[in-house]
Chains A and B, each alone.
Chain A
Amino acid sequence: MCNRRDPLIPQIGVITHVETETPDVKTFRIVRPEGGKLFDHMPGQCAMICVPGVSEGMFSITSSPTNREYQEFSIKRCGMLTEQLHSLEPGDQVTVRGPYGNHFPVETELKGKDLLFIAGGIGLAPLRSVINYVLDNRQDYGKIDILYGARSADDLVRRKEMEEVWMKAPGVNGYLTIDVAQEGWNGHVGFVPDYLKEIGFAADKTALVCGPPIMIKFVLAALEGMGYTKEQVYTTLELRMKCGIGKCGRCNIGSKYVCKDGPVFRLDQIEELPDEY
């Protein structure tokens, strides 16, 4: 192990558990070689995971800070690195550095608010950290609504947790939807933005939105139509990152670095940025 502190030098992480969520998403549980959490983080923060000799990539930490034992990352297979990560098994090691970036303002602006979580596909990963944080500090927040959709029932990440934990928790309403009808699915069918309008949440909540860019685009428009102001909506940006500390230049947009000043932005902050995300 290394003793020098440099933001670019990682620590070793050991995978202790791998859960296959969907045909292309796995959730990895990672701890230090001697056991215990890699570091402390806040909901929405990310970390750089590397398979030496392959590549390194930024992933949001999907477990809640209230989890004292380990960190979890839900990772979708879509490139060289993620392909390699998906081949790893418990006991295998990776390198991890972080946590990086800002976080959802769970201790400040979100406190006492009714929260509306809107997620699409793998976009549930960063929000899951917030959801579990909020549920573990239930008295600090108001009513909770979770709207989650995916292409198909098989593509719903953390479906079991959603149905068996979150939807059974006090003061939580959950809504699941899939894009196209399929056998065995009795729930709602339709895109997330349409379902959002159909449910028609009152505009007195704070919305946290994560998902594919196209979903975010239509969800934001829908929220606006429902009377939500830009100050009531939070989302995350995702750009190419290498250093994670605002120096390598890749994720620069306007005077912001998504890795350091983001990934969490309030909608009014995003609108100040050049239209390049």
Chain B
Amino acid sequence: MYKITKENLRALFREIAGSRELYLPVEMGGQVNFGVWDEDAKVRLDVLKTVKSPKDIFFPQAETLYTCTGSGKNIRIKPQELKDRDFVVFGMRACDVRGVKVLDQVFLSDPQDTYYAARRAHGILVSMACGRPEESCFCSTFGIDAAAPEGDVAAWMTEKDLFLKPLTEKGEQFITSVESLLTKAEDEAETVEAEQKRIREILEKLPYRNLSLDGWDGGATEEKFDSPIWETLYRPCLACGTCTFVCPTCQCYDIKDYRTAEGVQRYRCWDSCMYSDFTLMAGGNNRTTQLQRFRQRFMHKLIYFPANNQGMYSCVGCGRCVEKCPSSLNIVKVIKAFEKQGGGANV
């Protein structure tokens, strides 16, 4: 265990950024999102949830895959360079760290996505416990402990200090690289434990604390798929896709061309299963209604994904969809709607 006083955090960021890229929550245009640190950055470690999850550090909203030059009888392909420098993501919350683990299941499984894999190999995750969990949070439902986040290094912010604990070899190396700015705090485990206790007490009081996934254990797929509940549940959905863009685990993407003076850039960008053209083919569309698309998103997160990934759900309870949906529709409502039908415990 190590610590650094809050006043010295700026010096810590400067030290990290001296040799690596440093991403952390920064305020820009009134919004807080993960961004690259510089001397003028308005760092907001106090903000619990960034608007977008930090997934785009590993899986960018848009990225070039390769560039094609020439045409007709002479096409050449130049793959995009892979990330080859270490970088640090500082202040990730427990839910977002788990979100990256969910993305790992997709992008690191065979055949591996080399663009994502390079970023994961070079990225160091410094997570931070949630000092003030919010009412839209329900990470505990997915077995995530906001008081003890995963990552390469876990951190706890107390009144005066930031405590840091390396959890992996990468984390140890990170600590070593900034050790000159840190103080050893082996005998202050109690301070961190007290902070964890304080956090867990808040978690116990959150409105969704009893949200249960009973009945979403991968069985009864057909029953859920054919349930009449979807017919009323989906109706407020505007098909705007906001939930998919703020989600730390949504990974659907599109691949498109962009013509430039230097050639055709083949790029990928986030896409959304909420959109009507997502499954549109020259030969037809297998999901023509919003009900079908809405159902697909939640069946995927709660049934299909766990079936393929040893029970891991593709939701981490970050609550961003709860906050951002213009129609107040979200995964909590879906889970609850099925509970009322005997699908699980009462909330």
**Chain A interface (Cβ < 8 Å from any Cβ of B):** 1-2, 4-12, 50, 52-56, 78-79, 82, 91-95, 213, 238-240, 242-243, 245, 247-250, 252-255, 274-277
Contact = CB atoms under 8 A, between A and B. Distances in A.
A91 B5 CA distance: 68
Contact of A95 (B68, B254, B296): B68
Residue among A50, A82, A93, A247 facing the most chain B CB atoms (10 A cut-off) = A247
| Majority-rule SS of B interface residues | mixed
B177 interface: no
Given A238-B281, A274-B222, A6 B79 contact: yes
Contacts of B72: 92-93
For chain B, give the interface size range: 35 or more
A26 B82 CA distance: 38
B283 interface: yes
Contact of A277 (B82, B280, B286): B286
B253 interface: yes
A253 B225 CA distance: 11
A61 B292 CA distance: 31
A6 B113 contact: yes
A166 B280 CA distance: 36
Given A91-B73, A255-B304, 13 more contacts: A2-B66, A6-B114, A7-B112, A8-B255, A9-B65, A52-B264, A56-B266, A239-B279, A239-B281, A247-B106, A248-B268, A275-B225, A276-B287
Contacts of A1: 76-77
A141 B338 CA distance: 50
A79 B114 contact: no
Contact of A276 (B106, B252, B286, B307): B286
Contacts of B292: 276
Given A52-B266, A95-B68, A240-B279, A250 B73 contact: no
B255 A79 contact: no
A276 B285 CA distance: 10
20 contacts: A2-B66, A4-B114, A52-B266, A53-B71, A78-B282, A93-B72, A94-B75, A95-B77, A239-B279, A239-B281, A240-B278, A240-B281, A242-B254, A243-B253, A247-B107, A247-B251, A249-B273, A255-B304, A255-B305, A276-B286
B115 interface: yes
Contacts of A7: 111-113
Interface string B251-282: 11111010100011010100101000011111
Contacts of A243: 253, 255
Nearest to A5: B114
Contact of B259 (A53, A247, A255): A53
